Each structure stands twice: as C-alpha cells, then as structure tokens.
Structure 1
Amino acid sequence: MLTASDLPLITFIDIEASGLEPESYPIELGWADTLGNGDGFLVRPLHEWTHWDPVAASIHGIQRDELFEKGLPVHEAAVRLNDMLGCEVVFCDGLDSDQFWLNRLFDAAGVEPSFELADFHQLHTLLSKQHMVSLQHILKGLPIPHRAQADAERYANAVLASYS
C-alpha cells in the first residue's frame, strides 16, 4: 500500500476559457503538483480571438480588459507551460475541453507541447482504488474556485489529503 512518502509526483492543470463554444479560447492557465509547486497566469487574446461569453465570465470573474492588461502573449504562455511541466503527464478534469484549449494556445504560439494531458480518472493507474475513492469523496466536499491555479491546487491538495 502506498503511503504519502511513496506518492509519485502528480501534476494537475486547469484552464479557464472565454466560453464553451467552438470559437472560445484559453484565458487563464494554472497548474499545481503534489510537491507544492504551481503557477498560474492570464493569457492575452490574439486579435482574432473575440468570443466572450458573459455567463462564463460571471463564473470565473475574469474581465476581458484584464487579459490585455495582465495576460501573457500566447507564445510566452506556451513556452512557460513547457518550461514548467517538462515531459510530465499532467491530469485535468475536462480532457476534451482542456485539450481543445491547449491545442488552440500551442497552435497559435507555433510551439509543440512537451507534456501530455490525461483525464483525472486515469489516476487509477497511479493510485489505489481506496485512494481514488477517498480522493473523489474529498473533492466533493471542496468548493470549486473557478480560477485556474486554485482549481489545480484543489486537486493536488485532495490527493495529499487522501493519504492522511
């Protein structure tokens, strides 16, 4: 049986987007791992990225103007993710959507991602059934912040809590 000291490095990523429609794009990226590392940043939209869903904005609370003031250019955002995530397998809670938005970012940046995205449920290959059940129970009791880094930290912290 795994103990917390035997826990492999597990990294989570979360992406906030301009909406859920096909013309949406990533606006905030965040990641966190089980060693306590993490990062998060806004992404400055390209000029052709104009879609903005007010319902999505009411959930994540990010203003479009804020993206232009504080967001990283798409190339810098893609390189920063690669630099921080290396060749890891990174877990997310919405594989189809998150893969779409990462592809959108990396394609626009002209950069290949160095890391691989995996679905949260694939954690069963790293964690025991008992820890997966505990992890899911812990997550149900935690609020969802709807901010990228905080959402990724929620998962990393829940994994750690499933071992205590």
Structure 2
Amino acid sequence: MSIPRFLDIEYCQTDDALFPTAIAWSLANGQMKTVVIAPEDDWLPEDGDLGDTDLRYLEEQGVPLLEIARELHEDLPDQTVYVDGLDPDEVLVDLMFSAIGHEPPFEIAPIGDLISGMDSESLEDRRRQLLFDEGLEPRLPENGVYALLLLAREEGYLSDL
C-alpha cells in the first residue's frame, strides 16, 4: 500500500497580504521536508505591515520558490496531497507556482477525502488532540504534517510511523 502524502503551509495574512512563509510535506517513506519560503517582492504590501511575520527572517532563511518547486516536482509528482482543509492551502500553492510560471505537480485534497469515516469536525478535533498530546506547536507546518501522518496511522493508512 502506498503511503498517502500530506502538506501544510504556514502563511502571513494581513488586510493587504496573503502569502506562504513555510511549507512542509511528507515523502513516500513517511519522512518529511520543511522549508522556509523567501517571499516574492510583489507579495509584500506597500505599507510594509506584515503583522507578526518577521520579513528579515524570511529573506535571510527563506529558500527561493524555484528551488522549492523543483523539490516538490521531485517528491510529489502526480500525487494527491492531503491537507487539513483549514487553511487556504490551495490558494497558497497556486500563488507559489504562478509566481514562477509553473503548474503544481500535485492535486490538493482535504483529509476528509482520505479518511471518510469521520466528519470534518471530528477529524479536526482529533488532529488538534494529536497536536496537544504530542506537545506540538500548531503553527509549524511540519507539526501539521506530523499530526496528519499520525491521524492516517490511526486510521490504518500507514503502520511504520
């Protein structure tokens, strides 16, 4: 059985801006990759207000979109990638790939498409409980992916985690 793939994106959202700041995804072997995203100039609001997002950190530590896209093409070609369904993940992925003139190499689907035995509210409650039980900061995308991996394991979709 092939292991489902998961993705989570952390983002900055203000009145004038919405853009990804970090992304994490799982691989075929259940491991994860996580990357801080260097923002595109046209994503930044003219007034410079990014709320609590540290632009200097993103610029210094962030990876250029072209490199991230290359990794995603290598790791997730023609995959269905599951997300928690809470964030604007599809919009953020489209924003990333349109900035470099490419199409995403994968399709995004909510976790409820994989785990159909629970309604979306129950899935979210369980995901939050797993984050709490593991002592994980919910705003970190790698923790979001890990919680989805744990949820999938509980439902019998992977056994080695």
TM-score by length of 2: 0.77
* % identity of equivalent residues: 25
Cα RMSD after superposing both structures = 2.8
Residue 141 (structure 1) aligns with: 129
Structure 2 residue runs without a partner (length 5+): 132-136
Describe the shift of the 1:21–1:159 C-alpha distance in structure 2 as closer, same or farther (beyond 3 A).
farther
Distance 1:20 1:97 in 2: 14
- Greater RCO, 1 or 2 (C-alpha within 8 Å, sep 6+): 1
Q: Secondary structure at the match of 1:149?
A: helix
Q: Distance in 2 between matches of 1:135 and 1:33?
A: 22
Q: Work out whether 1:45 is the aligned partner of 2:19.
A: no
TM-score, normalisation: structure 1? 0.76
Aligned match of 1:29: 23
Question: What residue ranges of structure 1 are gaps of 5+ in the alignment?
Answer: 1-5, 58-62
Take 1:35 and 1:160, find their aligned partners in 2: how far apart are those partners?
13
Give the counterpart letter for 2:51 in structure 1.
P
40 and 134 in structure 1: CA distance in 2 versus 1, 3 angstrom threshold: same
Matches of 2:104 and 2:73, distance apart in 1: 6
Amino acid corresponding to residue 73 of structure 1 in structure 2: P
Match of 2:8, SS state, is strand
Inter-partner Cα distance in structure 1 for 2:127 and 2:155: 10
Whole-angstrom CA distance in 1 between matches of 2:104 and 2:113: 20
1:1-164 equivalences in 2 (<5 Å): 8-19=2-13, 23-32=17-26, 35-51=29-45, 53-54=50-51, 57=53, 63-94=54-85, 97-124=88-115, 129=117, 138-143=126-131, 145-163=138-156
CA distance in 2 between partners of 1:21 and 1:119 (Å) = 26
Which deviations, in whole Å up to 9, do the C-alpha atoms of 1:107-132 show, x marking residues without a partner?
0011221111111211146xxx27x9
Q: Residue 134 of structure 2 corresponds to which residue in structure 1? A: none
User: Partners in 1 of 2:28 and 2:123 — Cα distance?
Assistant: 13
Aligned partner of 1:150: which letter? N
